[in-house]
């Protein structure tokens, strides 16, 4: 139960960061480069409160483990003031209050300097998350910088997408908006991929990636990576094809399609939240001995569990056929845009892309 709660809370923390960052970035652009955006002060304050509340959820594992021996208040005091993750949360909570007060008193100000200060405060909060990250615990400087850059790029990109999807009041100037957002999204996506691979290297050697699929951590990471496939498809639709579509049909509403892209990102956030609750495969043999293989991986492997197990690719007909099916689903999900199918249909196809690709990979490995 705590695992599910923590996973959802992590995803909500990322969403709150994205909402705040996106709202401030939009306020920096003139009205002719964006549709009309309305994000109320109340929603911003709720997002700030969400950062403080939802970021505490990962500490619940420690609380439930210790409170029977030390009592609830002594446990909370000890975790917050003596544990690294607790001090990191206290830092987040304090700066969340500062950001909340800033929004309360200065939200109506329209000068760019107020938005810049808001963005800087959000960067400070992102630094707080980077301080408590797994990469930072392994390499305090390199890990912190990598995590900070990765997460900051994510919330800039996703924040803009989220705001334009859910808080735009019209579709005016959408082509002008795409001209700058498409370039920004490409840069952010490139940084996210590079820093993401670097963060992955803090947990395992890249060559051990298939071996990690035996663990729950590796399964979450694999699903996260597979979700990037439909995400690229929607980025292509909403970035390139949409611009041409709007030039021909100025009354076309692109928001349902950007919302579908956001839902895919929300699933990626959820997979990332699950990752943070599981043991990284830095010592695969030890984790296999102590925790065993992932329940998902056990559906494809029913042999003896040994610390020396390795995963090797051995493509067979079923796996190859499922890979072809995944590719077909992906192509049809793109074509559905041209055929004016509902975005929900394309979203369902995207889920089938991930499921088919997942099965194709798991049916194409051999454990030795």
Among candidate residues 122, 153, 174, the one where a domain is terminated: 174
Residue 60 pLDDT class (50, 70, 90 cuts): confident
Query: Residues 336, 296: one domain?
Result: yes
The answer to whether residues 159 and 221 belong to one domain is no
Residues 43 and 83 both lie in one domain: yes
3-class DSSP assignment, residue 168: strand
In a domain, 186, yes or no: no
d(CA 353, CA 362): 14
304-335 pLDDT tens trace: 777 777 888 888 889 999 999 999 999 999 99
pTM of the model: 0.93
Residue 97 located in a structural domain:
yes
- Are 238 and 342 contained in the same domain? yes
Average pLDDT over residues 33-49: 96
Are 166 and 208 in the same domain?
no
| pLDDT tens-place string over residues 234-250 | 999 998 899 999 988 88
My answer on whether 213 and 160 are in the same domain is no
* Total number of residues shown for the chain: 368
CA pair distance 250, 174, nearest whole angstrom: 9
Work out how many domains the chain is built from and give that number. Answer: 2
Residue ranges making up the domain that contains 24: 1-174
- In eight-state DSSP terms, residue 282 is G
Residue 322 resides in a domain? yes
Question: Looking at beta carbons, which pairs linking 91-95 to residues 24 or more positions away fall under 8 Å?
Answer: 91/128, 91/131, 92/51, 92/52, 92/55, 92/125, 92/128, 92/129, 93/52, 93/55, 93/56, 95/121, 95/124, 95/125, 95/128
Residues 170 and 51 in one domain: yes
Regarding whether 214 and 168 lie in a shared domain, the answer is no
| Single residue among 133, 154, 174 that ends a domain in this structure | 174
Which range, of 43-57, 120-134, 140-154, 286-300, averages the lowest pLDDT?
286-300
Q: What distance, in Å, lies between the first and last C-alpha atoms of the chain?
A: 34
In a domain, 50, yes or no: yes
Residue 191 included in any domain: no
* Strand positions, DSSP E, the chain: 311-313, 365-367
Q: What is the pLDDT of residues 300-312, one digit of tens each?
A: 887 777 777 788 8
Spatial contact of 55 and 273, defined as CB atoms under 8 Å apart? no
Which tokens belong to 317?
Answer: 């007909």
């Amino acid at each position: 139960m705590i695992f599910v709660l923590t996973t959802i809370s992590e995803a909500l923390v990322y969403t709150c960061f994205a909402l705040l960052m996106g709202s401030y970035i939009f306020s920096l652009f003139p009205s002719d480069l964006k549709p009309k955006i309305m994000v109320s002060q109340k929603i911003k304050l709720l997002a700030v409160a969400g950062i403080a509340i939802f970021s505490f959820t990962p500490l619940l594992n420690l609380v439930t483990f210790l409170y029977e021996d030390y009592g609830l208040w002594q446990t909370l005091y000890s975790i917050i003031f003596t544990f690294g993750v607790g001090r990191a949360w206290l830092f987040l909570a304090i700066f969340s209050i500062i950001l909340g007060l800033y929004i309360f008193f200065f939200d109506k100000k329209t000068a760019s300097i107020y938005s810049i200060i808001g963005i800087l405060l959000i960067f400070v909060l992102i630094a707080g998350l980077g301080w408590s990250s797994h990469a930072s615990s392994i390499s305090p400087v390199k890990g912190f910088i990598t995590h900070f850059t990765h997460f900051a790029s994510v919330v800039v990109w996703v924040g803009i997408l989220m705001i334009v999807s859910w808080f735009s009041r019209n579709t005016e100037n959408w082509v002008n908006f795409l001209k700058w957002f498409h370039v920004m999204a490409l840069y952010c996506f490139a940084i996210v991929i590079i820093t993401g691979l670097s963060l992955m290297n803090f947990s395992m050697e890249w060559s051990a990636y298939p071996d990690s699929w035996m663990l729950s951590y590796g399964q979450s990471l694999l699903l996260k990576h597979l979700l990037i496939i439909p995400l690229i498809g929607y980025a292509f639709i909403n970035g390139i094809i949409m611009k041409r579509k709007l030039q021909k049909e100025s009354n076309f509403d692109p928001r349902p399609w950007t919302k579908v892209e956001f839902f895919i990102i929300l699933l990626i956030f959820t997979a990332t939240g699950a990752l943070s609750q599981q043991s990284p495969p830095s010592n695969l043999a030890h984790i296999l001995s102590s925790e065993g293989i992932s329940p998902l991986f056990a559906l494809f492997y029913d042999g003896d569990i040994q610390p020396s197990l390795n995963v090797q690719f051995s493509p067979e007909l079923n796996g190859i056929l499922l890979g072809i099916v995944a590719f077909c689903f992906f192509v049809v999900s793109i074509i559905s845009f041209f055929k004016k199918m509902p975005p929900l249909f394309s979203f369902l196809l995207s889920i089938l892309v991930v499921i088919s690709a997942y099965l194709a990979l798991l049916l194409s490995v051999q454990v030795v």
